[in-house]
Amino acid sequence: MPFRITQLPSADKLCHTLSWPILEQVYPRQRIEHLTESICGQTTRVRKLTLVLVVWVLICWHLYLRHSLGAVFLKLSSAQRWLAEEEPEALPTRAAWTYRRKQLGVRLLRTLLEQSCVPLADEHTPGAFAVGLRLMAIDGTLEDVNDTPANAQYFGRISEGKTSSPYPQLRCIYLVEAGTHAIVKVILAPCKTSEVCLARGLLPALKPGMLVLLDRGFVSGALLEAIRARGAHVLGRLPQGIFTHKEQVLPDGSYLTTLDPTTCQGLSAPLQVRVIEYLIDPEVAQQLEQVTPSRMHSHSGATNPQVRQVHRLITTLLSPEQAPARELCLCYHERWEVEETIDETRNQQRLSQQPLRSRWPKLVLQEFYALLLAHYAVRCLMWQAAQTKSLDPDRISFTAAIQVLGQGIIHSTLVSQEQAHRLLKRLCADLTSKGALVAPRRLRFNCRVVKHICTRFRRKRPEHHNLTFKRTSFADILLI
């Protein structure tokens, strides 16, 4: 038989016998134990939960959708509880989980993400490299958190007053590998913190040989200079009307210009950059003009005339021989992969845009780091599956990978560490079967519009309190 059920000792506590070899291939147990000892210190009493076990369950919390922590632990330990020789021990209570989570804190999960989440792609991964550089993308978003007084005070709301945000929000800035959607670094802060300021916190993760794709909201002379100081290059979208002075026109139609410290705030020395301008084909632009704009403005109706404007890119790659203008225009289109990554963590991994569930700021940050660790584990499995068939990782279904990895983690408790690699191959085979692959990407343009549910109910506000009668039943207030 290819698999053999491991012997389950009955003398030890359940928390000491649990292991998940599939997940440990991404986050080794030795690394988590070392971080636990160095950051949290030695615990004098084990109880039913160890800090290492809490880390595993927090990560798996975001693989089994709509489950509580207790339900996830019950699912992960079901094999040991059913196959053990003695009666299973009682499950940890909700208070036990809260106590251990507070004891664990945030620093351990943040350090685990920084040490374990690295770029995955190699030079043979489709869409991961361009002009000899690894494609990385930076973007930010806001995440809703549980509406408690502590969360509202710490994270804040993006708007106040009568139009206040329904939930407090967490500001997130990501550094993502475009080819594999692997999140290699993240910066978290209260919602009103500037994205441009937070982006500088991503710089330590940049290495020589990377090409960073930026949206136009992030483009600044200071950030471009800081990225070049790390040995990486920049390709970003440029707003209209700035950096229009053409010092030298290159053979491919792009031109060079120099950013001056006197006009660019935060720039310490002159920086030469290259600007690329391009248009959309007029016949295609005529069709795209009829696509409804994504955002509502006072001057915009049902059409989108901005598609006919000149689109501008800025880059630190100055040589048209090394990086032709046309190839850079196609390369910048890969920046949308970071938008897909945000959609995965927000909608697909959580099924819908539900707020983070923790009630205290420290636990909110802990929960979100665990969410990103689970996302990286899924993406690591998808990349390994794509490697077995020389496929683009985009052909692997993300939601299917969540389900397959979730089942594989449970099944891996029944096999030894030596047999885990064979189970991993079978998981990859399930993801790359003919019926499971996603259709190849095609060029498409969709209206970014939202279908709102019409409702006659008022919006919930702080003054809307639920009326509760203690020690009173409905029979007590009923008069006949």
pLDDT reading at 293 higher than 80: no
How does pLDDT run across 343-355, given as a tens digit for each residue?
Answer: 999 888 877 678 8
Measured CA to CA, the distance from residue 238 to residue 218 in angstroms comes to: 10
pTM over 0.85: yes
Which distant-in-sequence residues (6+ apart) come within 8 Å of 276 by Cβ?
253, 254, 312, 313, 314, 315, 325, 328, 329
Neighbouring C-beta atoms of residue 356, cutoff 10 Å: 22
Which of the pair, 71 or 449, is modelled with greater confidence?
71
- How many CB atoms sit inside 10 A of residue 257's CB? 18
136: phi then psi, degrees, rounded to nearest 5: -125, 150
- Mean pLDDT, the chain, whole residue set: 87
Confidence of residue 378 (pLDDT cuts 50, 70, 90): very high
C-beta separation of 367 from 357 below 8 A: yes
| Contact (Cβ atoms closer than 8 angstroms) between residue 344 and residue 375 | yes
Give the other-Cβ count within 10 Å of 277's Cβ. Answer: 15
Q: Which residues contact 418 (CB under 8 A, 6 or more apart)?
A: none
**272, two tokens:** 């030469």
295 has a pLDDT exceeding 50:
yes
Given this model, what pLDDT does residue 115 score? 95
Q: 124-161 pLDDT, tens per residue?
A: 898 899 999 999 999 999 999 999 999 999 999 988 77
The model's pLDDT over 21-46, given as tens digits with 9 standing for 90+, comes to 899 899 999 999 999 999 987 765 66
Q: What is the structure's pLDDT at 95?
A: 92
Please check the confidence at residue 113 and state whether its pLDDT lies above 90: yes
